[in-house]
Structure 1
């Protein structure tokens, strides 16, 4: 049996709570697929995320060292985001989850329909 640390000391809970929100994985997958991107391009790629939520998500991923942010001293300012080496090391695992979701989504939807009846 696996024992888990308390909430404050559990690395599994900590990492999953940061990555398991609604938007973090989508941002990571988008940056992985497209490379370096400007804020507006990330926003266009994930059409249903608000600017505020994208800003919060990018800041969180940057604080965790998964993405980097580069600001260019231009008018208007240009900001670009990309995966860091740490972020890139996460992507094969994320891609496995994405592949699994794509493979099994129709089956999951069928089960949801059954449960909703």
Structure 2
């Protein structure tokens, strides 16, 4: 099983990278509120190791690195999006259930 599947940041990073053009680290960092640089770096490393995203290093000065989704990552997206849709469709009931548990 993929270790990062339960990591909320991994799914957020995957969705952000899949939205269009390749993204640089700082662009991802600015576009994902609340994620730390350390966590983002760890998530990018794990997703790259697993072949879900690609890390492209350009020999510019200073060096430039861009991340993009791989073909394998693209096969995961429909499942991630279905999970997101389920969360959106059931958000109200989930919040009701949470409030019921808190008030008990």
TM class, shorter-chain normalised? Answer: over 0.9
Matched length:
103
Gaps of 5+ in 1: 1-13
2:59 aligned with 1:73: yes
| TM-score normalised over the length of structure 1 | 0.83
What is the TM-score with the length of structure 2 in the denominator? 0.92
1:12-27 correspondence runs (5 A): 14-15=1-2, 17-27=3-13
Q: Which digits, 9 at most, give the CA deviation of each residue in 1:49-82, with x for residues without a partner?
A: 0011100000000000000000111122211001
Give runs of ≥4 in structure 1 deviating > 2 Å.
Answer: none
Alignment root-mean-square deviation, CA: 1.1
1:28 and 2:14 correspond? yes
Structure 2 unaligned residues grouped into runs of 5+: none
